[in-house]
Amino acid sequence: MTTAEDDPLLDLVLQQLDDDQAQDIVAIPLEGKSSIADHMIIASGRSTRQVASIAQKLAEKIKQAGFGPVKLEGLPAADWVLLDAGDVVVHLFRPEVRSFYNLERMWAFGDAPPVAGTA
């Protein structure tokens, strides 16, 4: 299983989410479970404004770091923004929307603890 230390894109995403004060960050390894990506990250922002800001800043940081362009879906509403960076897919939610869709339960298969220090 790949960890953040082994994957510079995953490390960048997790660090940027932490820097931007995303809440309840959960990293779900998808290697061997799905062909859509190697990692799924789920995080929350306190408001639509924060969710949009986190998503736009993260997309720019990924591009600046040389990982290529990022696909963003869900702006400008920003209740749920999907950021597709290839091997890492990030779902950013307002808390109420996150709890409604409950992606962790759908994808985690019981083995995705919160990222240390972010719960």
**Predicted confidence pLDDT, tens digits, the chain (119 residues):** 455 568 999 999 999 999 999 999 999 998 888 888 999 999 999 999 999 999 999 999 999 999 989 999 999 999 999 999 999 999 999 999 999 999 988 876 555 455 544 44
Q: Given this model, what pLDDT does residue 118 score?
A: 45
> What pTM value is reported for the model?
0.85
Q: Given this model, what pLDDT does residue 66 score?
A: 97
Domain ranges across the chain: 8-107
As a residue count, the chain comes to 119
- CA terminus-to-terminus distance, the chain: 22
Spell out the CATH class of 8-107.
alpha beta
Q: Given this model, what pLDDT does residue 104 score?
A: 85
CB atoms under 10 Å from CB of 107, counted, come to: 17
